[in-house]
Amino acid sequence: MTALIAVLITGLGTYLIRLSMVIALGRITLSHRAERALSLIPPAVLAALVAQTLVLDEDSLRTLSSWHPAALAAAVVAWRTRSIGWTLVTGMTVLWTIQAVAG
Amino acid sequence: MGARAAGLAGIRALFPLAMAVFPFGIVYGVLVARGDFPNAVGALASPVIYAGAAQIALVDLLDRDTPIAMAVGTALIINLRMMMYSAALAPAIARFGRGWRVAAPYAITDQLTVVSLLWFEKNPDPRDRRAFFVTGGLFFLGVWVLGTLIGIATGAQVPDGLQLGFAIPLTFLALLMPTLRGRPELTAALAAGLVVVLVAGLPYSLGVPVGAVVGVLAGMAAPR
Protein backbone atom coordinates (compact mmCIF):
# COMPACT_ATOMS: atom_id res chain seq x y z
CA MET A 1 0.00 0.00 0.00
CA THR A 2 2.87 2.36 0.85
CA ALA A 3 4.41 1.60 -2.54
CA LEU A 4 1.19 2.38 -4.40
CA ILE A 5 0.66 5.67 -2.55
CA ALA A 6 4.29 6.65 -3.17
CA VAL A 7 3.99 5.93 -6.90
CA LEU A 8 0.72 7.84 -7.23
CA ILE A 9 1.99 10.91 -5.35
CA THR A 10 5.28 10.93 -7.27
CA GLY A 11 3.37 10.53 -10.54
CA LEU A 12 0.99 13.37 -9.74
CA GLY A 13 3.81 15.61 -8.54
CA THR A 14 5.91 14.87 -11.64
CA TYR A 15 2.97 15.64 -13.92
CA LEU A 16 2.37 18.97 -12.14
CA ILE A 17 6.09 19.82 -12.52
CA ARG A 18 5.82 19.08 -16.25
CA LEU A 19 2.62 21.11 -16.59
CA SER A 20 3.67 24.05 -14.39
CA MET A 21 5.47 26.35 -16.79
CA VAL A 22 3.21 25.54 -19.74
CA ILE A 23 0.35 26.95 -17.67
CA ALA A 24 2.38 29.80 -16.15
CA LEU A 25 3.95 31.03 -19.39
CA GLY A 26 1.48 29.78 -21.97
CA ARG A 27 -0.68 32.86 -22.29
CA ILE A 28 2.02 35.48 -21.89
CA THR A 29 3.75 37.03 -24.87
CA LEU A 30 7.40 36.60 -23.99
CA SER A 31 9.99 39.34 -24.30
CA HIS A 32 12.96 38.73 -26.54
CA ARG A 33 15.11 38.43 -23.44
CA ALA A 34 12.85 35.80 -21.89
CA GLU A 35 12.87 33.79 -25.12
CA ARG A 36 16.65 33.85 -25.08
CA ALA A 37 16.66 32.55 -21.51
CA LEU A 38 14.33 29.71 -22.48
CA SER A 39 16.58 28.73 -25.39
CA LEU A 40 19.49 28.34 -22.95
CA ILE A 41 17.65 25.82 -20.78
CA PRO A 42 18.44 22.67 -22.82
CA PRO A 43 22.23 23.22 -23.00
CA ALA A 44 22.35 24.18 -19.31
CA VAL A 45 20.28 21.24 -18.02
CA LEU A 46 21.96 18.67 -20.26
CA ALA A 47 25.48 19.88 -19.44
CA ALA A 48 24.52 19.61 -15.77
CA LEU A 49 23.36 16.03 -16.36
CA VAL A 50 26.55 15.17 -18.30
CA ALA A 51 28.67 16.56 -15.45
CA GLN A 52 26.62 14.65 -12.89
CA THR A 53 26.94 11.30 -14.70
CA LEU A 54 30.25 11.50 -16.61
CA VAL A 55 32.48 13.74 -14.48
CA LEU A 56 31.05 12.78 -11.10
CA ASP A 57 30.29 9.42 -9.55
CA GLU A 58 27.94 9.99 -6.65
CA ASP A 59 29.60 12.86 -4.73
CA SER A 60 33.20 12.61 -5.92
CA LEU A 61 35.10 12.87 -9.19
CA ARG A 62 34.74 9.81 -11.41
CA THR A 63 37.93 7.82 -11.99
CA LEU A 64 39.15 8.01 -15.58
CA SER A 65 38.08 4.90 -17.47
CA SER A 66 37.18 3.60 -20.92
CA TRP A 67 34.03 5.76 -20.58
CA HIS A 68 35.98 8.94 -21.19
CA PRO A 69 37.70 8.20 -24.53
CA ALA A 70 34.37 6.73 -25.70
CA ALA A 71 32.56 9.92 -24.68
CA LEU A 72 35.19 12.04 -26.41
CA ALA A 73 34.81 10.05 -29.64
CA ALA A 74 31.02 10.39 -29.37
CA ALA A 75 31.34 14.15 -28.84
CA VAL A 76 33.50 14.52 -31.95
CA VAL A 77 31.01 12.53 -34.03
CA ALA A 78 28.15 14.58 -32.59
CA TRP A 79 29.99 17.76 -33.53
CA ARG A 80 30.61 16.61 -37.12
CA THR A 81 27.37 14.77 -37.92
CA ARG A 82 24.83 16.53 -35.65
CA SER A 83 23.18 13.10 -35.48
CA ILE A 84 21.95 11.78 -32.14
CA GLY A 85 21.79 8.24 -33.56
CA TRP A 86 25.39 8.19 -34.79
CA THR A 87 26.57 9.73 -31.54
CA LEU A 88 25.00 6.90 -29.52
CA VAL A 89 26.32 4.22 -31.89
CA THR A 90 29.85 5.66 -31.84
CA GLY A 91 29.97 5.95 -28.05
CA MET A 92 28.85 2.38 -27.40
CA THR A 93 30.99 0.91 -30.21
CA VAL A 94 34.16 2.66 -29.06
CA LEU A 95 33.49 1.59 -25.45
CA TRP A 96 32.94 -2.06 -26.39
CA THR A 97 36.00 -2.01 -28.66
CA ILE A 98 38.24 -0.63 -25.90
CA GLN A 99 36.95 -3.28 -23.51
CA ALA A 100 37.43 -6.09 -26.02
CA VAL A 101 41.00 -4.96 -26.76
CA ALA A 102 41.92 -4.22 -23.16
CA GLY A 103 40.28 -7.47 -22.06
CA MET B 1 3.49 18.76 -43.92
CA GLY B 2 0.49 16.94 -42.45
CA ALA B 3 -0.03 15.25 -39.13
CA ARG B 4 0.89 11.80 -40.40
CA ALA B 5 4.28 12.81 -41.76
CA ALA B 6 4.99 14.88 -38.65
CA GLY B 7 4.08 11.97 -36.39
CA LEU B 8 6.40 9.67 -38.32
CA ALA B 9 9.14 12.26 -38.07
CA GLY B 10 8.64 12.20 -34.30
CA ILE B 11 9.06 8.43 -34.13
CA ARG B 12 12.09 8.57 -36.41
CA ALA B 13 13.74 11.27 -34.28
CA LEU B 14 13.10 9.38 -31.02
CA PHE B 15 14.07 5.97 -32.40
CA PRO B 16 17.80 5.88 -31.52
CA LEU B 17 17.03 7.33 -28.09
CA ALA B 18 14.35 4.70 -27.56
CA MET B 19 16.90 1.99 -28.38
CA ALA B 20 19.14 3.47 -25.69
CA VAL B 21 16.37 3.74 -23.08
CA PHE B 22 14.92 0.27 -23.68
CA PRO B 23 17.62 -1.66 -21.76
CA PHE B 24 17.11 0.76 -18.87
CA GLY B 25 13.48 -0.19 -18.74
CA ILE B 26 14.76 -3.74 -18.29
CA VAL B 27 17.28 -2.67 -15.61
CA TYR B 28 14.51 -0.87 -13.72
CA GLY B 29 12.18 -3.85 -14.08
CA VAL B 30 14.81 -6.19 -12.68
CA LEU B 31 15.31 -3.84 -9.70
CA VAL B 32 11.57 -4.11 -9.02
CA ALA B 33 11.45 -7.88 -9.51
CA ARG B 34 14.40 -8.58 -7.19
CA GLY B 35 13.33 -6.35 -4.28
CA ASP B 36 10.35 -6.17 -1.95
CA PHE B 37 8.58 -3.60 -4.11
CA PRO B 38 5.31 -5.10 -5.45
CA ASN B 39 5.74 -5.99 -9.13
CA ALA B 40 2.36 -4.62 -10.21
CA VAL B 41 3.05 -1.24 -8.58
CA GLY B 42 6.54 -1.17 -10.08
CA ALA B 43 5.04 -1.75 -13.51
CA LEU B 44 2.37 0.90 -12.92
CA ALA B 45 5.09 3.42 -12.05
CA SER B 46 6.42 3.44 -15.62
CA PRO B 47 3.33 5.06 -17.16
CA VAL B 48 2.36 6.97 -13.97
CA ILE B 49 5.75 8.55 -13.14
CA TYR B 50 7.42 8.02 -16.54
CA ALA B 51 10.89 9.14 -15.45
CA GLY B 52 13.61 6.50 -15.19
CA ALA B 53 16.05 8.00 -12.69
CA ALA B 54 13.23 9.03 -10.34
CA GLN B 55 11.58 5.59 -10.55
CA ILE B 56 14.85 3.83 -9.78
CA ALA B 57 15.50 6.14 -6.81
CA LEU B 58 11.96 5.70 -5.46
CA VAL B 59 11.99 1.90 -5.62
CA ASP B 60 15.51 1.69 -4.25
CA LEU B 61 14.77 4.02 -1.31
CA LEU B 62 11.50 2.30 -0.37
CA ASP B 63 13.18 -1.12 -0.60
CA ARG B 64 15.64 0.19 1.99
CA ASP B 65 12.78 1.28 4.29
CA THR B 66 13.26 5.01 3.74
CA PRO B 67 10.29 7.03 5.06
CA ILE B 68 7.81 7.55 2.23
CA ALA B 69 7.97 11.36 2.38
CA MET B 70 11.73 11.34 1.93
CA ALA B 71 11.58 8.80 -0.91
CA VAL B 72 8.88 10.75 -2.77
CA GLY B 73 10.66 14.05 -2.11
CA THR B 74 13.91 12.72 -3.54
CA ALA B 75 12.17 11.42 -6.66
CA LEU B 76 10.43 14.77 -7.19
CA ILE B 77 13.66 16.75 -6.80
CA ILE B 78 15.28 14.51 -9.44
CA ASN B 79 12.37 15.50 -11.71
CA LEU B 80 12.61 19.20 -10.91
CA ARG B 81 14.61 19.82 -14.09
CA MET B 82 11.41 19.08 -16.01
CA MET B 83 10.07 22.41 -14.80
CA MET B 84 12.75 24.01 -16.94
CA TYR B 85 11.80 21.82 -19.90
CA SER B 86 8.20 22.84 -19.30
CA ALA B 87 9.27 26.48 -19.62
CA ALA B 88 11.34 25.84 -22.76
CA LEU B 89 8.44 24.01 -24.43
CA ALA B 90 5.69 26.32 -23.13
CA PRO B 91 5.49 28.66 -26.15
CA ALA B 92 5.02 25.69 -28.49
CA ILE B 93 2.73 23.55 -26.31
CA ALA B 94 0.50 26.56 -25.52
CA ARG B 95 -0.58 26.46 -29.17
CA PHE B 96 -1.43 22.75 -29.24
CA GLY B 97 -5.11 23.48 -28.51
CA ARG B 98 -7.30 23.38 -25.43
CA GLY B 99 -7.13 19.82 -24.08
CA TRP B 100 -3.76 19.05 -25.62
CA ARG B 101 -2.14 21.90 -23.74
CA VAL B 102 -2.92 20.11 -20.47
CA ALA B 103 -2.33 16.55 -21.69
CA ALA B 104 0.84 16.93 -23.77
CA PRO B 105 3.20 17.99 -20.93
CA TYR B 106 2.78 14.49 -19.44
CA ALA B 107 5.10 13.25 -22.21
CA ILE B 108 7.98 15.62 -21.32
CA THR B 109 11.32 13.81 -20.96
CA ASP B 110 14.94 14.86 -21.54
CA GLN B 111 14.88 13.12 -24.90
CA LEU B 112 11.54 14.37 -26.23
CA THR B 113 12.29 17.95 -25.14
CA VAL B 114 15.57 18.32 -27.01
CA VAL B 115 14.48 16.44 -30.12
CA SER B 116 11.23 18.45 -30.32
CA LEU B 117 12.83 21.86 -29.79
CA LEU B 118 15.31 21.12 -32.59
CA TRP B 119 12.51 20.01 -34.91
CA PHE B 120 10.26 22.95 -33.97
CA GLU B 121 12.91 25.40 -35.24
CA LYS B 122 12.22 24.37 -38.80
CA ASN B 123 8.56 23.44 -38.40
CA PRO B 124 6.40 26.31 -37.16
CA ASP B 125 2.94 24.80 -37.77
CA PRO B 126 1.26 24.04 -34.38
CA ARG B 127 -0.59 20.99 -35.73
CA ASP B 128 2.59 19.48 -37.14
CA ARG B 129 4.38 20.21 -33.90
CA ARG B 130 1.63 18.58 -31.88
CA ALA B 131 1.67 15.46 -34.07
CA PHE B 132 5.47 15.23 -33.76
CA PHE B 133 5.45 15.72 -30.00
CA VAL B 134 2.50 13.49 -29.13
CA THR B 135 3.33 10.62 -31.51
CA GLY B 136 7.03 10.66 -30.66
CA GLY B 137 6.19 10.89 -26.96
CA LEU B 138 3.76 7.97 -27.02
CA PHE B 139 6.23 5.85 -28.97
CA PHE B 140 8.96 6.59 -26.41
CA LEU B 141 6.58 5.88 -23.52
CA GLY B 142 5.63 2.56 -25.12
CA VAL B 143 9.26 1.48 -25.40
CA TRP B 144 9.93 2.46 -21.76
CA VAL B 145 6.90 0.54 -20.48
CA LEU B 146 7.76 -2.49 -22.62
CA GLY B 147 11.32 -2.58 -21.27
CA THR B 148 9.97 -2.37 -17.70
CA LEU B 149 7.54 -5.25 -18.26
CA ILE B 150 10.23 -7.45 -19.80
CA GLY B 151 12.55 -6.73 -16.87
CA ILE B 152 9.87 -7.56 -14.29
CA ALA B 153 8.65 -10.66 -16.10
CA THR B 154 12.03 -12.23 -16.79
CA GLY B 155 14.12 -10.80 -13.93
CA ALA B 156 16.95 -11.41 -16.36
CA GLN B 157 19.89 -9.20 -15.60
CA VAL B 158 21.42 -7.42 -18.58
CA PRO B 159 25.07 -8.64 -18.85
CA ASP B 160 27.59 -6.30 -17.15
CA GLY B 161 29.87 -6.54 -20.18
CA LEU B 162 27.41 -4.45 -22.18
CA GLN B 163 28.36 -1.50 -19.94
CA LEU B 164 24.85 -0.08 -20.05
CA GLY B 165 25.66 2.37 -17.30
CA PHE B 166 27.50 4.36 -19.96
CA ALA B 167 24.38 4.75 -22.10
CA ILE B 168 22.97 7.28 -19.60
CA PRO B 169 25.77 9.89 -19.80
CA LEU B 170 26.13 9.09 -23.50
CA THR B 171 22.45 9.92 -24.08
CA PHE B 172 22.82 13.23 -22.24
CA LEU B 173 25.94 13.99 -24.30
CA ALA B 174 24.18 13.15 -27.57
CA LEU B 175 21.34 15.49 -26.58
CA LEU B 176 23.68 18.24 -25.38
CA MET B 177 25.90 18.57 -28.45
CA PRO B 178 23.32 19.78 -31.02
CA THR B 179 22.14 22.48 -28.58
CA LEU B 180 25.61 24.12 -28.44
CA ARG B 181 25.16 26.57 -31.27
CA GLY B 182 26.68 29.81 -30.12
CA ARG B 183 28.64 31.46 -27.39
CA PRO B 184 25.67 31.91 -25.00
CA GLU B 185 24.78 28.20 -25.26
CA LEU B 186 28.40 27.15 -24.78
CA THR B 187 28.74 29.47 -21.78
CA ALA B 188 25.51 28.15 -20.26
CA ALA B 189 26.71 24.56 -20.67
CA LEU B 190 30.20 25.15 -19.28
CA ALA B 191 28.91 27.12 -16.29
CA ALA B 192 26.24 24.52 -15.51
CA GLY B 193 28.73 21.66 -15.70
CA LEU B 194 31.25 23.50 -13.58
CA VAL B 195 28.70 24.34 -10.88
CA VAL B 196 27.52 20.71 -10.69
CA VAL B 197 31.09 19.59 -10.04
CA LEU B 198 31.74 22.39 -7.53
CA VAL B 199 28.61 21.70 -5.48
CA ALA B 200 29.03 17.89 -5.63
CA GLY B 201 27.66 16.50 -2.40
CA LEU B 202 24.50 18.59 -2.30
CA PRO B 203 21.81 16.17 -1.11
CA TYR B 204 18.96 14.74 -3.21
CA SER B 205 20.57 15.43 -6.61
CA LEU B 206 20.02 19.16 -6.08
CA GLY B 207 23.25 19.85 -7.96
CA VAL B 208 21.57 19.47 -11.36
CA PRO B 209 18.79 22.06 -10.92
CA VAL B 210 21.18 24.47 -9.18
CA GLY B 211 23.79 24.08 -11.92
CA ALA B 212 21.18 24.48 -14.66
CA VAL B 213 19.84 27.76 -13.24
CA VAL B 214 23.35 29.20 -12.86
CA GLY B 215 24.10 28.02 -16.41
CA VAL B 216 21.13 29.90 -17.88
CA LEU B 217 22.10 33.07 -16.00
CA ALA B 218 25.71 32.79 -17.19
CA GLY B 219 24.55 32.27 -20.77
CA MET B 220 22.37 35.38 -20.55
CA ALA B 221 25.40 37.39 -19.46
CA ALA B 222 27.62 36.10 -22.26
CA PRO B 223 28.14 38.20 -25.39
CA ARG B 224 26.36 36.77 -28.41
Q: Are A32 and A58 members of one domain? A: no
A27-40 residue pLDDT tens: 788 888 988 999 99
B220: confidence class by pLDDT, cuts 50, 70, 90? very high
Q: Distance between CA B112 and CA B132 in Å, rounded?
A: 10
Spell B96-126 as b/e; 16+ CB within 10 A means b: beeebbeebbbbbbbbbbbbbbbbbeebeeb
For residue B172, what are the contacts with CB-CB under 8 A and spacing of at least 6?
A46, A49, A50, A53, A54, B110
CB A86 within 8 A of CB A77: yes
pLDDT of res. A18: 98
pLDDT above 90: residue A22? yes
The reply to whether A46 and A96 lie within a common domain is yes
Point out the residue among A26, A87, A89 whose CB comes nearest to the CB of B177: A87
Mean pLDDT of the residues in chain B: 93
Q: Which residues of B touch A49 (CB under 8 A)?
A: 81, 110, 169, 172, 176, 208
Q: Per-residue confidence at B155, pLDDT binned at 50, 70, 90?
A: confident
Confidence of residue B152 (pLDDT cuts 50, 70, 90): very high
Q: Which domain holds residue A77?
A: 40-103
pLDDT of amino acid B161: 74
Residue type, B103: A
Structure confidence at residue B224 (pLDDT): 76
Q: Say how far apart CA A68 and CA B80 lie, in whole Å.
A: 28
pLDDT tens-digit profile of B156-198? Answer: 777 777 787 888 899 999 999 999 999 999 999 999 999 999 9
For residue B129, give how far its alpha carbon lies from the nearest alpha carbon of chain A (Å). 15
Confidence at residue A82, expressed as pLDDT on a 0 to 100 scale:
84
Q: How far apart are CA A19 and CA A3, in angstroms?
A: 24
Q: In chain B, which among 132-191 make CB contacts under 8 A with chain A?
A: 161-163, 166-180, 184-186, 188-191
Same domain, A63 and A29: no
Q: Is the ipTM of this complex over 0.95?
A: no
Q: Residue A27 in 3-state DSSP?
A: coil
Give the number of domains in chain A: 2
pLDDT in tens, A45-103: 999 999 999 999 888 889 888 999 999 999 999 988 888 999 999 999 999 999 889 86
Claim to verify: residue A67 and residue A100 sit in the same structural domain: yes
pLDDT at A47: 96
What CA–CA distance (Å, rounded) separates A41 from B128?
23
Contact B19 A30 (CB under 8 A): no
Contacts of B205 in chain A (CB under 8 A): 52
pLDDT score for A103: 65
Examine the domain organization and report whether A6 and A20 are in the same domain. Answer: yes
Contact B94/A at CB under 8 A = yes
The rounded percent of chain B whose pLDDT value lies above 70 is 100
Same domain, A48 and A97: yes
Task: Render pLDDT for B61-87 as a digit per residue (tens, 0 to 9).
Answer: 999 999 999 999 999 999 999 999 999
Q: What is the reported pLDDT for B4?
A: 92
Contact B39, B29 (CB under 8 A): no
Residues A24 and A44 in one domain: no
User: How confident is the model over B106-117, as pLDDT tens digits?
Assistant: 999 999 999 999
Do A70 and A30 lie in a common domain? no
pLDDT in tens, B10-22: 999 999 999 999 9
Which chain A residue shows the shortest CA-CA distance from B191?
A44
CB contact, 8 Å: A87 with chain B?
Answer: yes
Among residues of chain B, what percentage have pLDDT more than 90?
83
**Residues of chain B found within 8 Å of residue A59, distances taken between Cβ atoms:** 200-201
* Residue A67, CA distances (Å) to B49, B141, B224 in order: 29, 28, 33
Calpha distance B59→A3 (Å, rounded): 8
Same domain membership, residue A70 and residue A89? yes
Predicted confidence (pLDDT) at residue B203 exceeds the cutoff of 80: no
Interface of A with B in 47-86 (CB under 8 A): 47-56, 59-61, 66-67, 70-71, 74-75, 78-79, 82, 84-85
> Is A30 found in the same domain as A80?
no
Are A47 and A28 within one domain?
no
* Residues A55 and A66 placed together within one structural domain of the fold: yes
Q: What separation in angstroms does the CA of B33 have from each of B40, B47, B55, B135?
A: 10, 17, 14, 30
State how far the Cα of B96 lies from the Cα of B79, in Å rounded to an integer.
Answer: 23
User: Among all residues of chain B, which has the CA nearest to that of A55?
Assistant: B197
Distance, in angstroms, between B142 CA and closest chain A CA?
A: 17
